[in-house]
Structure 1
Amino acid sequence: MTHAQRLASVRHDLQQQQLDAFIVPHDDEHLGEYIPPYAERLDWLTGFTGSAGAAVVLARKAAVFVDGRYTVQVRHQCDASLFEYRHLIEQPLLDYVLSELNTGARVGFDPRLHSRSWFDAAQQKLAARGLQLVPVKHNPVDRHWHNRPEPTINPALLLSQEYSGQHSEAKRNRIAEQLAAGNIDAQLLTQAEPINWLLNIRGRDIPCLPAVLSFALLHKDGSVQLFAEPAKFEGLDLTAHCGHNVTLAPFNALEQALTELGNKGARVQLDPATANAWSSLVLEQAGAKIVFADDPCMLPKACKNPVEVQGSRAAHLRDGVAVCRFLAWLDRRLEQPAPEREDEGTLADKLLALRAEHADFVEPSFSTISALGPNAAMCHYHHDNGTPRKLGQDAIYLVDSGGQYLDGTTDITRTVAVGEPDDEMRKLFTLVLRGHIDLASARFPAGTGGLQLDALARMPLWQQGYNFDHGTGHGVGHYLSVHEGPQRISPKGSTVPLTTGMIVSNEPGYYRENAFGIRCENLEVVQPADTSGDIPVFEFENLTWVPFDRRLIDSNWLDARHIEWLNDYHATVWEKISPQLEGEDLTWLEQATRPL
């Protein structure tokens, strides 16, 4: 089916259900950032493959909504004759619905694919203008997606305490005590990452996210009902690994378990931002008393214990070796005849192959962004969405990549010269790098959130009249999602205080549409700072050890302190990485880490 035929089939379904609109989010039942192939409904309908977005289908028109990361990509992927392009933040989806529909209109949505908080807010907003929000039992996309992929059944992994640093029982009891103190009978957990962290399990259900897709009920006595595909745990002793009070049941048993809690009048806590509306409506209809609160696993999961921090250090060292070998190979390739035989795809494949040489490497932590010239202006570009661009026609190359290792998750971006960058490119690269250094050097009092630190990375760009339309930093899991909360560094980011053990990215950038893109990214872990003052202060410990390209640096745009930081950083890269390189790779690193 063409996208026009798919859109027509959904419209026909809406007519049968007497709906005037239908909302298609980029989500699955767990509402995590990454979704399995069988849940890629937005892609099926529109052709948009980005990680965030939504669509609205009306009787005679439709629109696709994306944020600033994807404003270029959406124009490349979605047919303008079928879909209007809207900015997810500046032109909110519900405002669009209200502007297009009249009083009495019925707006359909799949309650399994929207959070409870979204449901409450949307229902109130639409009702105020006389529109009805209607939950559908049968998603119209699913009814017409005839070649929809089946869910995969990959074996689960029981993560040993050697990597996790804490037994599941200790984690469960710690959180259960909080539930009991709050007179909560059970906590509904709906996202894969906190459940996998809580039980020290991992999986391969979604590419790049080493988690078992699941739901769970954590009771105030510390027991857990896990709802997942039982076949994934065949041959594994879950009881021996997690403790005797963890039971496993299939997904379809969740509704009955929620209903039983409701029948008992239980007080059930859930996070309205992450739990889907369906689960909370089932609980309410059965008679449960719902308590809305943040997922209690999120903060302890974000604050890595010493074993997890040490594992992350080790993972980044071996990852740094792989990336340095890649950049050394790339420079040698540029000096050889016909370098244009390499394109964005072969470059990404080479980097993956170098990472995969290490036994602890499991898979990439996300799809590598391997982007030459104008393609790098699309923050989340992927070469498979078109014809990969070849070397030999651009001045700079951006590669954003990462690895999942048994002891940690990595994420690094380097922008490097592959041609002759002009003075403006070098100026802009240096301003981005200066912002990176300013944030990396920050010390901040206890209680400081990422929202308060974001301007440090943007100030050098702001002062010259530039900016970038994405967050400066995201949280990173421990052999889990490369994007995690609650910590975040962003203009509209989290006020959750940054504290010991939290891992965040530091990735300012600059993007010029149809020209080039620049980003400088390291991962950093929050640690207590040693000061002589009278208040507790934190700082960032760097985890990523790969040189920044000296050929792109215009030192006229750096102060002495920035040059000192960069020279110290490169000296440490040499100290940590050089013992693991040899030959031409070692020679390359020696040149790449020379002081400015």
Structure 2
Amino acid sequence: MTHAQRLANVRDDMQHQQLDAFVVPHDDEHLGEYIPPYAERLHWLTGFSGSAGAAVVLAGKAAVFVDGRYTVQVRHQCEAALFEYRHLIEQPALNYVLDELSSGARVGFDPRLHSRGWFDAAQKKLAAKGLELVPVTTNPIDRHWHHRPAPEAHPALLLSQEYSGQHSEAKRNRIAGQLAADHIDAQLLTQAEPINWLLNIRGRDIPCLPVVLSFALLHNDGSVQLFADPAKFEGLDLAAHSGHNVSLSPFDALESALRELGQNGARVQLDPATANAWSSLILEQAGARLVFADDPCMLPKACKNPVEVQGSRAAHLRDGVAVSRFLAWLDRRLSQPEPQLEDEGTLADKLQALRAENPEFVEPSFATISALGPNAAMCHYHHGNGTPRTLGQDAIYLVDSGGQYLDGTTDITRTVAVGEPDNEMRKLFTLVLRGHIDLACARFPAGTGGVQLDVLARLPLWQQGYNFDHGTGHGVGHYLSVHEGPQRISPKGSAVALATGMIVSNEPGYYRENAFGIRCENLEVVQPAETDGDIPVFGFENLTWVPFDHRLIDTSWLEHRHIDWLNSYHANVWEKISPLLSGDDLTWLEQATRPL
């Protein structure tokens, strides 16, 4: 079925439901960033495969909305004859609806796929112009998606305290105590990551995200009702692992549990940014008193305990060995008199195979971005969505990849020379690297949010008239999501203060459409910094240990302090990684870490 046929079928269904518009988000019922294949409704309808976006279908036209990471990709994947292209932030989907429809129009949405916060804001915004927001009981896409993938059925994993560092009961009692103090009867948890963290469980329900998809109710006595597929826990003693006050029920028991809370007049807390509108409306209609607040699991999950931090260090050391071996292998392939022309796909496969030699490796932490030349200008490019580009025609190669290990999650980007980079490429790479170093060296007082630090990574580019249209850094989980909140480093980022144990990426970049892309990324953990002053100060401890490519560095764009940092960093890479390499790989590392 072509995308034109799919669009026509959805429009027929909309007409049957008397809808003038239908909003399609990139979300499932849990509203996490990553969704399973059976929930990829936006991709099915439009062809767009990015991790964030939306579409609006009207009777005579349609539009796809993406952020700055995907402005190039969306043009490659979505037919211009079918969809207009809009910027998700600058031209929000609801503004498009208001511009295109008149008073009295009916705007459909699936309440399971939108947050309560979105619902409240959308209802108010549309009502102000006389438009009605209409929840649908059957999603028009689901009615016509005939070959929809089935949900995965992988068994759950009970993560031992050797890796988690804290028993589930301690986590639950800590949060339940705060609920009781605030006179909250129960907390509704809808995203998989906080639930898996809270109960020390993991799974394989979504590629690259090691979670069991689930909902949960955390009560103020510390007990938890978990709603998930019971088959995934067959043969596992969840009560012995997480606590005897943890019960397991199938997904379809959630609605009755929510109604029971409502009938008892319970005060139920939920995060309007992450709880879907369906669950909150069920509670409200049944008589519950809703309290809107941030998910109380997010901040303690983000502040890794010492066991989790140490595990992350160990995971990054293994990962650094694998990535260094890959880059050494790549250089050897390129130095052959008649090198075999590898493509982006075989390069990604080689890197994954080297990671998989580690027994602790579980899976990639996201789909590897293996991008040559102009493909690297698409921040979240994936070679599987087209014809992989072949080595031999481009000057630089960008590889953004990571691994899920039992003791940590990794994410690293390196941009390397695979041809003859010109002076401008070297200048731009050096400006990006300079911004990376400036952020890595930051010292900041307690209470500082990532939004206040973002400028450090951009300033070298700004001063020469360049910029990049994505955040500088995102939070990273512990054997969980490679993208984690509430912390992030971005010009529109979170004001949540960076605190001890938070892991963030440091990844400035530069992208020139149809030409090349550059990004330099390490992961760093926030730690207290020693100073002579009288206020608490924090800094970043580096976790990632892989050389930056000397061949792309133009030292005329660096100050002495940047060169000193690079020499010190490369000396540390040599010290940590060289004992784990041998032969040609060791020889390569020696050259790659030589002082500037």
TM range, smaller chain = over 0.9
Residue aligning to 1:248: 248
Residue aligning to 2:287: 287
Residue aligning to 1:113: 113
SS of residue paired to 1:556 = helix
Q: Is the 8 A contact 1:362 1:404 kept in 2?
A: yes
Deviations 1:9-37 (A, max 9, x none): 00000000000000000000000000000
How much does 1:588 deviate? Answer: 0.2
Structure 2: which amino acid aligns with 1:149? P
How much does 1:90 deviate? Answer: 1.0
How much does 1:338 deviate? Answer: 3.7
C-alpha separation in 2, matches of 1:359 and 1:223: 35
Query: Could you tell which deviates more after superposition, 87-96 or 339-348?
Result: 339-348
SS of residue paired to 1:57 = strand
SS of residue paired to 1:269 = strand
Structure 1: which amino acid aligns with 2:538? F
How much does 1:259 deviate? Answer: 0.1
Residue aligning to 2:139: 139
C-alpha separation in 1, matches of 2:566 and 2:341: 34
How much does 1:157 deviate? Answer: 0.1
Residue aligning to 2:185: 185
How much does 1:336 deviate? Answer: 1.3
RMSD: 0.4
How much does 1:339 deviate? Answer: 2.9
Residue pairs, 1:468-547, within 5 angstroms? 468-547=468-547
Q: Is the 8 A contact 1:340 1:392 kept in 2?
A: no
Structure 2: which amino acid aligns with 1:468? F
Structure 2: which amino acid aligns with 1:234? E
Deviations 1:256-292 (A, max 9, x none): 0000000000000000000000000000000000000
Residue aligning to 2:411: 411
SS of residue paired to 2:187 = strand
Structure 1: which amino acid aligns with 2:110? D
C-alpha separation in 2, matches of 1:463 and 1:84: 34
Residue aligning to 1:584: 584
C-alpha separation in 2, matches of 1:441 and 1:249: 48
Residue pairs, 1:13-162, within 5 angstroms? 13-162=13-162
Residue aligning to 2:567: 567
State TM-score, norm by structure 2.
1.00
Q: Is the 8 A contact 1:20 1:59 kept in 2?
A: yes
C-alpha separation in 2, matches of 1:533 and 1:68: 40
How much does 1:413 deviate? Answer: 0.1
Structure 2: which amino acid aligns with 1:200? N
Segments of 5+ residues of structure 1 without an aligned counterpart are none
How much does 1:152 deviate? Answer: 1.0
C-alpha separation in 1, matches of 2:125 and 2:239: 46
CA distance 1:531–1:347, shift in 2 (3 Å): same
Deviations 1:338-378 (A, max 9, x none): 43520000000000000000000000000000000000000
C-alpha separation in 1, matches of 2:173 and 2:439: 37
Q: Is the 8 A contact 1:339 1:391 kept in 2?
A: no
C-alpha separation in 1, matches of 2:359 and 2:539: 32
How much does 1:457 deviate? Answer: 0.1
Segments of 5+ residues of structure 2 without an aligned counterpart are none
Deviations 1:457-512 (A, max 9, x none): 00000000000000000000000000000000000000000010000000000000
Structure 2: which amino acid aligns with 1:509? G
Residue aligning to 1:278: 278
Structure 2: which amino acid aligns with 1:445? P
How much does 1:59 deviate? Answer: 0.3
Matched, 1:465 2:468: no
Residue aligning to 1:420: 420
Residue pairs, 1:295-306, within 5 angstroms? 295-306=295-306
Structure 1: which amino acid aligns with 2:228? A
C-alpha separation in 2, matches of 1:409 and 1:244: 29
Residue pairs, 1:261-276, within 5 angstroms? 261-276=261-276
Q: Is the 8 A contact 2:473 2:488 kept in 1?
A: yes
Residue pairs, 1:145-224, within 5 angstroms? 145-224=145-224
Structure 2: which amino acid aligns with 1:291? V
C-alpha separation in 2, matches of 1:470 and 1:84: 22
Structure 1: which amino acid aligns with 2:442? A
Structure 2: which amino acid aligns with 1:438? D
C-alpha separation in 2, matches of 1:456 and 1:255: 48
SS of residue paired to 1:55 = strand
Deviations 1:188-229 (A, max 9, x none): 000000000000000000000000000000000000000000
Q: Is the 8 A contact 1:270 1:295 kept in 2?
A: yes
Q: Is the 8 A contact 1:429 1:552 kept in 2?
A: yes
How much does 1:558 deviate? Answer: 0.2
Q: After the TM superposition, which segments of 4 or more aligned residues of structure 1 sit over 6 Å from their partners?
A: none
How much does 1:237 deviate? Answer: 0.2
Q: Is the 8 A contact 2:341 2:392 kept in 1?
A: no
Q: Is the 8 A contact 2:445 2:538 kept in 1?
A: yes
How much does 1:115 deviate? Answer: 0.3
SS of residue paired to 1:146 = coil
Residue aligning to 2:334: 334
Residue aligning to 1:360: 360
Residue pairs, 1:360-399, within 5 angstroms? 360-399=360-399
Structure 1: which amino acid aligns with 2:93? L
Q: Is the 8 A contact 2:333 2:340 kept in 1?
A: no
C-alpha separation in 2, matches of 1:531 and 1:161: 34
Q: Is the 8 A contact 1:458 1:467 kept in 2?
A: yes
State TM-score, norm by structure 1.
1.00
Residue aligning to 1:230: 230
Structure 1: which amino acid aligns with 2:323? V
Deviations 1:139-158 (A, max 9, x none): 00000001111111110000
Structure 2: which amino acid aligns with 1:267? R
Q: Is the 8 A contact 1:440 1:540 kept in 2?
A: yes
Deviations 1:93-122 (A, max 9, x none): 111000000000000000000000000000
C-alpha separation in 2, matches of 1:177 and 1:5: 54
Structure 1: which amino acid aligns with 2:257? A
Residue aligning to 1:551: 551
C-alpha separation in 1, matches of 2:117 and 2:465: 37
C-alpha separation in 2, matches of 1:187 and 1:98: 35
Residue aligning to 1:344: 344
